[in-house]
């Protein structure tokens, strides 16, 4: 398995934990599975930095995950992102913020960068540049 990049947050106060989970249950409701994993901060580490990290997972089961596109071309994926919107706003904004966040933590994800560029191209081609509120480079 290749390395997966991410950020983990530790929330100390019980009332803050409850509020964060309540928010996440709304924001991440399209994900149909949850898992608790060990989080490693170094690729060669043998002991996790944090255990029991909550992870939301979107499966490829179209019955459980209505937003799963299925096998699709790069252009189809980008087109879905251009049009998708959820409780946290437009999916394209999420993609642009993800691209920026990955760069900030030192992860150059070619797929994410290329996808963000394709989404920008589609939006600009359709004359809907006003849709891109964030993340324009």
Name the phi and psi angles at 128, rounded to 5.
Answer: -115, 40
Render pLDDT for 49-106 as a digit per residue (tens, 0 to 9): 999 998 888 888 888 888 888 889 999 999 999 999 887 789 999 999 999 999 998 8
Per-residue pLDDT at 107 exceeds 90: no
Cα dist. 78→2, 40, 46, 49 in Å? 23, 31, 37, 35
Active site residue 99: no
Is the pLDDT higher at 113 or at 57?
Answer: 113
- Element (H or E) spanning 128, and its range? none
Across the range 15-36, mean pLDDT stands at: 88
pLDDT of residue 109: 92
pLDDT of residue 130: 55
Tokens of 110: 């070619």
Q: What does the longest C-alpha to C-alpha distance in the chain come to?
A: 51
Tell me the pTM: 0.72
Number of other CB atoms surrounding residue 123 within 10 Å: 19
Is the pLDDT higher at 132 or at 42?
Answer: 42
pLDDT of residue 136: 46
pLDDT of residue 20: 93
pLDDT level of residue 2 (50, 70, 90 thresholds): low
How far from each other are the two terminal CA atoms of the chain, in whole angstroms?
31
Which range has the worst mean pLDDT, 6-10, 61-65, 71-75, 126-130?
A: 126-130
Residue with tokens 């189809």: 76
Catalytic residue among 2, 18, 22, 28: 28
């Amino acid at each position: 398995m290749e390395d997966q990049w991410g950020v983990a947050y530790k929330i100390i106060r019980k009332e803050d934990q409850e509020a964060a989970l309540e928010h996440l249950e709304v924001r991440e409701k399209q994900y149909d599975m949850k898992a608790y994993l060990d989080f490693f901060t170094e690729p060669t580490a043998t002991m996790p930095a944090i255990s029991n990290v909550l992870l939301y997972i979107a499966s490829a089961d179209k019955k459980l995950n209505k937003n799963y596109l299925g096998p699709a071309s790069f252009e189809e994926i980008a087109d879905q992102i251009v049009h998708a919107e959820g409780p946290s706003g437009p999916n394209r904004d999420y993609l642009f913020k993800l691209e920026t966040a990955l760069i900030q933590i030192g992860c150059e994800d070619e797929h994410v960068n290329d996808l963000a560029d394709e989404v920008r191209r589609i939006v600009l081609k359709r004359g809907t540049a006003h849709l891109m509120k964030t993340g324009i480079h």
